[in-house]
Structure formats: C-alpha cells, structure tokens
Structure 1
Amino acid sequence: MIDIFESLEISAVVDNNILQDLYELNRIDILFNVFDMVIIPRIIYEEEVTEEVKQSLTIHTFVLGDIVTEIGFELYRTLSSNVEYRGLSRRDRFALSISLETDYYCSSNDGLIRKACETHDIRYTGILGVLQAAFQKKYLNENEVKHLVHQLQSIDTTCYISRKICEEFLNKLFHT
C-alpha cells in the first residue's frame, strides 16, 4: 500500500470534522490542494455541514457521494449489524462505505471510524495527515504547518487533539 505522504495522486471521502477543522483554520483550500478528488457524502453535506462551511466550499470542486455499489451496501449492512460499531452514526457508515467502494482515503479524526477502516482495509487519514500531505506536496511550508497545528490545539477551534499527539507529529515531521 502506498503511504498517503508518498503518493502524488490521492483522493478522499471527507467527513464533517475534517471540513469543520479546516474551516475553523480558515484553510479549507488545503483539502483541495492535497486531494485530487474530494467526495463529501451527501448525507453528511445535507445533515451536518453548516451553512458557513457550505459557503466556503462553493469555490471548490467536489462530489456529493452516495453508496452506489454492492460492496458499499454490504459494508453498510455489516457496520449496521455489528455491535462493535454501534457507536457509528448513519453518516459515518456512509463515509466508510463510499471510501471502500471508491478505494479513496477516509478522512476523519474519529477513533471508531479509524478502527473500522483498519478492520475493513480502508485507507484513512485525519487532520494531521492532511497537513502532512500538504507539507509533503509543498503546498504548506514548515512554519505554516506548525502554526496550523498550534491553532488546532487552541480554543479557536473545536478540534480535540492532545498536545502530546501534536508534539509527536511535529517532531516526527520535522525531525526535531
């Protein structure tokens, strides 16, 4: 499997927490410069995405996604009936199913979504992975990444990410 940070052509199914994080950072543009194709599950767009975020998306090209294949429907049924994944919302199951059927990254910060991705061989990344990919693609420089990571930890965003995880991420990325 090609690592997201080494791949030049990557696409993703994006959930609302990633959209919200980037909106709060005033950097929704990063998403569209990291990923070649962005799919937002229609159910997430219609039920969760705020009007402000929708407005910021209007200048970008993305696809509203639906489950369209038997592979996607089968995963949706599996996740719906598995007690281990009862904490996943309908919207989460849609994002996972669309990711599986398209073979795109599932972009989410949610731990249970990541667990389902690992179990079902779905590639995934969170907000830090998106920032790392932007750095690797030279869309962001080191100072910009550091600034955005510090903003994610601040009261300016609703993102919950521990200082320890952020420090480890920055140390690993910049070898400090």
Structure 2
Amino acid sequence: MREKIKKLIDKVAILDTNVIIDFQRLSYLEIPLQVFSKVFVSGFVVSKELPAEVVKKLKDLGYDIANLETEEGYSFFQELKKFKALSVYDRLVISIALQEKIICVSNDKPVRKICKKYGINSTGTLGILCAAFEKGIISKKELKELIDGYQSNSGAYINKDIINEIIRIYHL
C-alpha cells in the first residue's frame, strides 16, 4: 500500500465532487495541489455541483478545469452509460481521467471499480492524505488528526479495514 501511495506524488489528477467537499470540510483544499503536480476538476462539476464560494476558492488556489475534448473521451463517456451505478458526474471524471491519462480521485466504490476495470489509476481522500504525509506536507500527528476528522465529517462510507491498514502502516 505504501509504495502505491508514493506513486501518487507529483502526478496529475482529477478530483470528483466528494473529494473536493472532503478537503473543504477538513479546511485543507490546498493539500491535493501540494501532493500532485497538477489538479483538475471537471468543468461540468464546477458549473453544476459546487457552490460558487468553493469554485472561487478552487480557482484562487490554482485548480485547473478539464472537459471532455477528444473522441476517445466522448466515446468512453457514452460507453460508461451501461454502468447504472455511475452518475453523469462520475462518468465525466472517469472519462476525463482516461482522456488525459491521469489519476482519478474518488471515494465512490463504483467509480474506483470502473477505473480498475479499465486500467485507470485511482485513489481517494485517504490516499491523498497518506501521500501528503509521505511527501512531508503534513506530520504524522496531522495525518492522524485529519484521518480522525475525515471519519467524523465525511458523508462517504469509510471502510474500517482501510483505516486499520493505514493506522498499522503509519503507526498512528
């Protein structure tokens, strides 16, 4: 797990809405920008799902906007319609990740399952937090506090096995 986390550092990624909201709730929207070399959000997500104040903060911090722009991306987006568990927003983020050959960041199990099926690298909020520790952005104490805060404030289901593995690996 730790080697997989280290491979996230300084790569390019696209974040879905739930991850953006997680980092907003943790008051650490800058962490993904420090872990990755470049971070995208879907233009459609920005225009339809996020409150204006969050969009402004993302732009001020340096997040980039990405859209479907290639035939490959559009075709894949259409192909993903067959997966009923995916929302339009999910399909967009996955398709942009495929189009741009970047990491898809989502906490949604169906999204990560599809990414795995199609060979798209993926991670979630916990992966970014661990990568932030690996890169020296946050201390072990901060990692523990952020994971505790994430468990308390996240709207996502958090697999206790993953939390326990992180606690074991990082001696939290």
> What SS is found at the alignment partner of 2:28?
coil
Code of the residue aligned with 1:69 in structure 2: it is: T
Partner of 1:126: 124
Pick the aligned partner of 2:106 from 101, 105, 108.
108
Matched residues in 1 for 2:41 and 2:50: separation? 10
> What SS is found at the alignment partner of 2:60?
coil
Partner of 1:167: 164
Aligned residues: 170
Code of the residue aligned with 2:164 in structure 1: it is: E
Partner of 2:71: 70
Code of the residue aligned with 1:99 in structure 2: it is: A
Matched residues in 1 for 2:4 and 2:99: separation? 19
User: Is 1:117–2:115 an aligned residue pair?
Assistant: yes
User: 1:5-154, aligned counterparts within 5 Å?
Assistant: 5-6=6-7, 8-80=9-81, 82=82, 85-154=83-152
Matched residues in 1 for 2:157 and 2:54: separation? 19
Asked if the contact 2:8–2:35 (Cα under 8 Å) also holds between the matched residues in 1, the reply is no
Output the TM-score relative to the length of structure 1. 0.89
Q: Which has the higher helix share?
A: 2
Matched residues in 2 for 1:49 and 1:8: separation? 26
> What SS is found at the alignment partner of 1:59?
helix
Q: Deviations over 1:58-98 (max 9, x none)?
A: 42112211111121112111101x2xx11111111110010
Matched residues in 2 for 1:141 and 1:62: separation? 24
Output the TM-score relative to the length of structure 2. 0.91
The gaps in structure 2 that reach 5 residues or longer are: none
> What SS is found at the alignment partner of 2:39?
strand
Matched residues in 1 for 2:39 and 2:50: separation? 15
> What SS is found at the alignment partner of 1:140?
coil
Asked if the contact 2:104–2:123 (Cα under 8 Å) also holds between the matched residues in 1, the reply is yes
Matched residues in 2 for 1:43 and 1:58: separation? 15
Matched residues in 2 for 1:71 and 1:3: separation? 27
